[in-house]
């Protein structure tokens, strides 16, 4: 079993796609371990996307991610990291295939609805960044399942 950090970005929340997107992850067999609708501070957004800080699209990316609430979550399942990336689809809008979340619903490379950690190491870093209490048993929703 593996855990990954997943986020429905502000365009997904604004367009009322939380339920539709969650259904795809759940139908695939991934389990929700943590979930939170939250406004993202610039500090958190910049830490999350630190690998892209020197890219030309970085300012636009930070403006976008902080433009409204996101639905942040931790999903668990067999090969959760790569499974979520497969369901999300390619980053570039013209490469995102029908059948993927981006391919079916996104029309922009920046506003592409969803994020999924790109490796087990990224997942660990991102889960502790977005859910700093997730490792204390008293705050873990998975204890209730």
Q: Is the Cβ of residue 120 or residue 140 nearer to ligand RTP in the bound state?
A: 120
**Following DSSP, what letter does each residue of 88-109 receive, concatenated?**
H--SSGGG--BTBHHHHH---S
Q: Is the Cβ of residue 12 or residue 77 nearer to ligand RTP in the bound state?
A: 12
CB of 92 to ligand RTP, least distance (A): 7
Which stretch in 11-19, 23-31, 99-107, 110-118 sits in contact with Mg ion by CB under 5 A? 110-118
Residues 45-104 that bind ligand RTP (CB under 6 A): 52, 57, 61, 91
Selected catalytic residue, list 105, 115, 123, 126: 115
Asked if 52 is an active-site residue, the reply is no
Helix, strand, coil shares of the chain, percent, nearest 5, are: 50, 20, 35
């Amino acid at each position: 079993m593996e855990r990954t950090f997943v986020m429905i970005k502000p365009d997904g929340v604004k367009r009322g796609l939380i339920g539709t997107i969650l259904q795809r992850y759940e139908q695939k067999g991934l389990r929700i371990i943590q979930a939170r609708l939250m406004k993202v501070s610039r500090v958190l957004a910049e830490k999350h996307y630190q690998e892209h800080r020197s890219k030309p699209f970085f300012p636009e990316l930070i403006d976008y991610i902080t433009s409204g609430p996101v639905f942040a979550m931790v999903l668990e399942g067999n090969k959760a990291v790569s499974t979520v990336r497969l369901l999300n689809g390619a980053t570039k809008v013209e490469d995102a295939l029908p059948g993927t979340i981006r391919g079916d619903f996104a029309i922009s490379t920046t506003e592409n609805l969803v994020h999924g950690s790109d490796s087990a190491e990224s997942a660990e870093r991102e889960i502790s960044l977005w859910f700093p209490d997730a490792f204390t048993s008293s705050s873990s929703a998975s204890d209730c399942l």
